[in-house]
Structure 1
Amino acid sequence: MATIGFIGGGMMAEAIIKGLLDKGLFSPENIFVSEPVAERREYLSSTYKVHTVDQNEKVLKGCAKIILAVKPQVMKKVLEEIKEHIDIEKHLLITIAAGLPISFYEKLLPQGTRLIRVMPNTCAIVHKSISALTKGSFATEEDLTSAEKLFSAIGETVVVGEELIDAVTALSGSGPAYVALFIESLVDGGVRAGLPRPLAEKLALATVVGSVEMMKKLKKNPYEIKAMVTSPAGTTITALEVFYQKGFPGTVIEAIYKAYLRSKELSEAFS
């Protein structure tokens, strides 16, 4: 069976490892993780039975596919450490670091290095991520397909041009925080109306999950779902009127656009 290596053993790396194991794409003995923190190495080794090491080059020696799962601020140091060990024929590098454009990697790595850039989100923890993939200058369609297969283990995948990655980051990358804020507001609204908080939380979560399932299974867009719930002069239209008066839709649009601009600003700083 093929091997796969991780440079960085944090939360997202763990989510991917768990997905790969659960889907049977790799066995524990064929997964190698480089992680500088001894306690984290011990945790990953004991929990998932994977190989853990403290030197990045050891992962490159044993694996053809390498997932770069380190924070953006340490990526340059990591690339400088591993560049001499990269075999452009053997290695496919897949980065999940936010904000770093492909040009950042291609300036630091050997000419011809095959690279795939991926923007997953934290829903990967429960295998419900939506991951956007884009390929570097030297990556092949086969490389892209291979990366899609890996990330399908933690949810859905889409392939986009790199010019869309900042918008993806603003929407789905940061999106779980927006959804959490909305759910928190629903819960507080229920409490304001007199519901006990545990009951309000249960109602809010079930409502959000059910609404999403309706859209997916009935193949209806958000407007159609809204129309299904909204009756003349009823409670729903009364609440929606307040949302519109307070500028809720516009606020969401503006927030995502500001996040997009910030992501673009960070990307350009490294391009």
Structure 2
Amino acid sequence: MRLGFIGTGVITKAIVTGLIRSSWSFDRIFLSPRNAATAAELAALDPRVQTCASNQEVLDSSDVVCIAVVPQIVADVLRELHFEARHHVISFVPGTPVEELNRLLRPARKLARAVPLPAVADGKGCTAIYPPDEVARSLFSALGKAVEVESEHQFDALHAVTATMASFYAVLEAQASWLTQQGLPYKSARAFLSGYSVGLAHETTRTGQSFPQMIDYLMTPGGLNEQVHAELSSRGAYGHYANALDRVLARIQGRT
């Protein structure tokens, strides 16, 4: 398989790095020249990775084409390109629905949207895919886990949830800051919380329990976990997530 990338930013770098490290079979990877430094860095990792002189050369050389540009320029970039019916396209562009992409990509007939995250570089994490697509599923299953959904609204909702990455780290920083107030060096607080978080995340992958079941399992009646959970719940801390995500989803879907 010959895989091409239009756009050579953080996500392209993560995917190509992950593919090189994985057992997923590909013949060549072709990169657009937009970010020359990143393209050169990736090309140096594996002789099968090549930087092209133009985006059109990426298309002409590839069977599967990944679109990895920002939404502000996607229409302009795609209108300049000549796709063929043989092209299988995977778009990473947020907020650009399948219907609009199909108009821009004609006569290409195969299209899927995906939301890969930087952890794919290490074969970790999960990538949302819509519509279900065999090529995208195979690619991202090799880079962690792939979750296919049946509607674009569901896909947009999963995309919205990825907006919690910064707030996830902010919660850890709040705990680290509290630990430093108790006299711990920040480096020690960070190391502890990093390992602690990895352990909690790992538990979600080794059990089929729902999150409420996991919450109940960890809360001894009258215990410390129950105390913190009850206090945060009574203050509506968790409810703020749904409100924030509603606004993110509206933005993704162009309703604001």
User: Shared fold (TM-score greater than 0.5)?
Assistant: yes
Give a deviation string over 1:107-126, Cα, whole Å, max 9, x none: 22324532111122233233
User: Are 1:41 and 2:39 an aligned pair?
Assistant: yes
Distance 1:177 1:100 in 2: 23
Equivalence for 2:10: 11
Which residue is 1:78 aligned to? 77
- TM-score, normalised via structure 1 length: 0.85
Q: Distance in 2 between matches of 1:228 and 1:106?
A: 47
Cα 1:227/1:42, change in 2 over 3 Å = same
Among 220, 225, 228, the residue aligned to 1:231: 220
Deviation at 1:13, TM superposition (A): 0.6
1:187: Cα distance to partner? 1.6
- For structure 2, the residue ranges without an aligned partner over 5 or more in a row are none
Partner of 1:138: none
**Matched residue of 1:232: which SS?**
coil
Contact in 2 for aligned 1:68/1:96 (Cα 8 Å)? yes
Matched residue of 2:227: which SS?
A: helix
Shift of 1:162: 1.1
More helix by proportion, 1 or 2?
1
Partner residue of 2:22?
A: 23
Q: Is the 8 A contact 1:119 1:132 kept in 2?
A: yes
Cα distance change of structure 1 residues 189 and 126 upon mapping to structure 2, 3 Å threshold: farther
Q: TM-score, normalised by structure 2?
A: 0.89
Match status 1:114 vs 2:110? yes
1:125 has 2:121 as partner:
yes
Q: How many residues align?
A: 254
Bigger CA drift: 196-205 or 220-229? Answer: 220-229
Structure 1 residues 134 and 79: alpha-carbon distance in aligned structure 2, compared to 1, 3 A threshold: same
- Identity among equivalent positions (%) equals 25
What do the CA deviations read for 1:87-138 (whole angstroms, capped 9, x no partner)? 11x1111111111111221222324532111122233233223111113xxx
Aligned residue type for 1:31: I
Q: Which amino acid aligns with 1:68?
A: I
1:165 aligns with 2:162: no
Alignment deviations for residues 9-57 of structure 1 (CA, whole Å, 9 cap, x no partner): 1111111111222223245x61111122333332222234411013011
Equivalents in 1 of 2:200, 2:9: separation in Å?
A: 32
Q: What stretches of structure 1 move > 3 A for 4+ residues in a row?
A: none
Q: Quick one: distance in 2 between partners of 1:16 and 1:60?
A: 18
* Alignment pair present for 1:255 and 2:244: yes
Partner of 2:92: 96
In the other structure, the counterpart of 2:189 is 200
Distance (whole Å) between structure 1 residues aligned to residue 185 and residue 213 of structure 2: 31
SS in 1 for 2:89: strand
1:69/1:95 contact within 8 Å kept: yes
Determine if the alignment matches structure 1 residue 87 to structure 2 residue 84: yes
Please tell me the root mean square deviation across aligned C-alpha atoms, in Å. 2.2
Q: What SS is found at the alignment partner of 1:70?
A: coil
User: How far apart in 2 are the matches of 1:65 and 1:33?
Assistant: 12
Which stretches in structure 1 are left out of the alignment for 5+ residues?
136-140
1:32 aligns with 2:30: yes
CA distance in structure 2 between the aligned counterparts of 1:240 and 1:210, rounded to whole angstroms: 19
